Each structure stands twice: as C-alpha cells, then as structure tokens.
Amino acid sequence: MPNPKHRFSKARTASRRANFKSVAPTLSTCSGCGASVEYHHVCPECGSYRGKQAVEKNAAV
C-alpha cells in the first residue's frame, strides 16, 4: 500500500475541508397523511411507504 512521501500542509488540509458542501435532504409529501417525508423512507406519522402500509403505528392512548 503506498504511503505519502511528504506531509500535507495545514493550509492544504484546511482548504480541502472548507469545500465540503452539506446538502439538506430532499423532502416529499406523504400520499396518505400529507406529512413531510424523506425520499425512500417510511412516513414517521402514518407508517406508509409508496402508498402501502409498511409499519403498523399504534394509536395514542
């Protein structure tokens, strides 16, 4: 496995880390209840995924 011959400077390391772009997750609306849901995730409110019931949610007592 190759190893670096020379040490990277602090400025080079810091500039690489400074260019990181954090992106907010893309949200959609649930077809069952209308809540905001991340793409490819089960709805936390009603437990449906792509129009079908995926997780059984208990009613509040």
Q: What is the pLDDT of residue 41?
A: 94
Place of tokens 């649930």: 30
What is the phi/psi pair of residue 52, to 5°? -120, 150
Measured between alpha carbons, how far is 6 from 1 in angstroms, rounded to an integer? 16
Tokens of 18: 């400074």
Q: What is the DSSP letter of 18?
A: H
pLDDT band at 21; cut points 50, 70, 90: confident
Range of the domain at 42: 28-61
**32 lies in a domain?**
yes
How sure is the predictor about 59, in pLDDT bands with cuts at 50, 70 and 90? low
Q: Any idea which residue has 């020379």 for tokens?
A: 6
- For the chain, the domain total comes to 1
Asked, for residue 23, whether it belongs to a domain, the answer is no
Instruction: Give a yes or no: residue 18 inside a domain.
Output: no
Taking the C-alpha atoms of residue 25 and residue 46, their distance in angstroms, rounded to an integer, is 20
